[in-house]
């Protein structure tokens, strides 16, 4: 599954010569944490985050005089002075797996999405959560997750799917999960309320429901 369905498209951007107070205003007003920095042609130059800005701003423990002096300097500091330039990006063809692995490895909250160097979107860890929530059907009204013991029987998945389809039982996810500690499981997301009859059907076929 590609990230382009879930990314924020046409994100707000900063320019390299933008002064820090303006960048901070943009982030605060829009409640963003990441702002890609682009040139006049929309080409990615770097990234500036709320954390970069917080570090640039004076600490509240400084004396008033020191703070005023620091604010004066900040007014004249440009985004280019503090942005990260060695940032990695995704592309519209990146998959959710790409994004998951990259967000995890880079330990960042969001990544720019680039199409031939042009910033076309931002993909955040929140977007990833939304995507996986949808993918797994978490919180989907009218569904229930049923666990099944997986004893390694050959053709078990086929038997389960055939049984459900023959009896017109709607289901939308089927997941096989290796769990050395607690025993392997198969998880089914059923989209029906007639759970008791599904459990009976499985039991009659020698298939064991489990948590």
Partner 1 sequence: MPLPPKLTLISDSRFLDHDTGIDHPELPARLQLILNNLEQSEYYSSLGFHGTRPAERKWLIAAHDEGWLFRFEEAVLSGKTSVDHSDNQICYESYDVATLSAGAGLTGVDLLEQGTARQVFCLVRPPGHHAERNRPFGFCFFNNCVVAARYWQQQYGRQRILVFDFDAHHGNGIQSAFEREADTLYISIHEHPSFSYPGTGYKDETGFEEGRGSILNLPLSPGAGDEQLLALLHGPVEEKIAQWQPDAMIVAAGFDGHRADEMSGLLYSTGVYEKVGQGVRALSNKYCGGRLLSMLEGGYELTVLGESVEAYVRGLLAE
CB nearer to partner 1: give 80 or 169: 169
* Nearest CA-CA partner of 5 in 87, 99, 88, 89: 99
Spatial distance between the Cα atoms of 128 and 6, rounded to a whole number of angstroms: 8
Report the nearest approach of partner 1 to the CB of residue 198 (Å).
10
Report the nearest approach of partner 1 to the CB of residue 201 (Å).
10
Report the nearest approach of partner 1 to the CB of residue 143 (Å).
4
CB nearer to partner 1: give 91 or 192: 192
CB nearer to partner 1: give 24 or 189: 189
CB nearer to partner 1: give 54 or 203: 203
For residue 40, report the phi and psi dihedrals to the nearest 5 degrees.
-60, -25
Per-residue tokens: 93: 């063809």
Spatial distance between the Cα atoms of 120 and 92, rounded to a whole number of angstroms: 8
CB nearer to partner 1: give 92 or 209: 209
Per-residue tokens: 43: 């080409």
* DSSP bridge partners of 189: 145, 173
- Side-chain-side CA neighbours of 64 within 13 Å: the count stands at 0
Report the nearest approach of partner 1 to the CB of residue 181 (Å).
19
Q: How far apart are the first and last CA of the chain?
A: 28
Report the nearest approach of partner 1 to the CB of residue 39 (Å).
41
The residue ranges that bind partner 1 (CB under 8 A) are 137-145, 168, 170, 191-197, 199-200, 211
Spatial distance between the Cα atoms of 196 and 202, rounded to a whole number of angstroms: 10
């Amino acid at each position: 599954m590609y990230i382009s369905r879930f990314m924020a498209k046409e994100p707000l951007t900063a320019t390299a010569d933008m002064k820090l107070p303006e960048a901070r205003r943009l982030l605060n007003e829009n409640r963003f944490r990441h702002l890609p920095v682009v040139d006049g042609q929309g080409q990615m130059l770097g990234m500036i985050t709320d954390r970069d800005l917080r570090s640039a701003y004076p600490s509240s423990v400084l004396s008033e005089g020191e703070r005023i002096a620091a604010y004066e300097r900040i007014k004249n500091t440009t985004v280019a002075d503090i942005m990260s330039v060695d940032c990695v990006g995704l592309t519209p063809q990146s998959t959710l797996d790409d994004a998951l692995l990259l967000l995890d490895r880079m330990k960042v909250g969001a990544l720019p999405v680039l199409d031939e160097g042009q910033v076309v979107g931002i993909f955040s860890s929140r977007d990833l959560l939304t995507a996986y929530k949808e993918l797994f059907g978490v919180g989907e009204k009218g569904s229930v997750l049923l666990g099944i013991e997986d004893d390694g029987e050959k053709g078990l998945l086929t038997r389960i799917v055939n049984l459900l389809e023959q009896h017109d039982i709607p289901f939308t996810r089927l997941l096989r999960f290796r769990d050395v500690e607690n025993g392997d499981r198969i998880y089914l997301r059923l989209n029906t309320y007639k759970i008791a009859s599904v459990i009976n059907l499985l039991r009659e076929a020698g298939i064991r429901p489990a948590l």
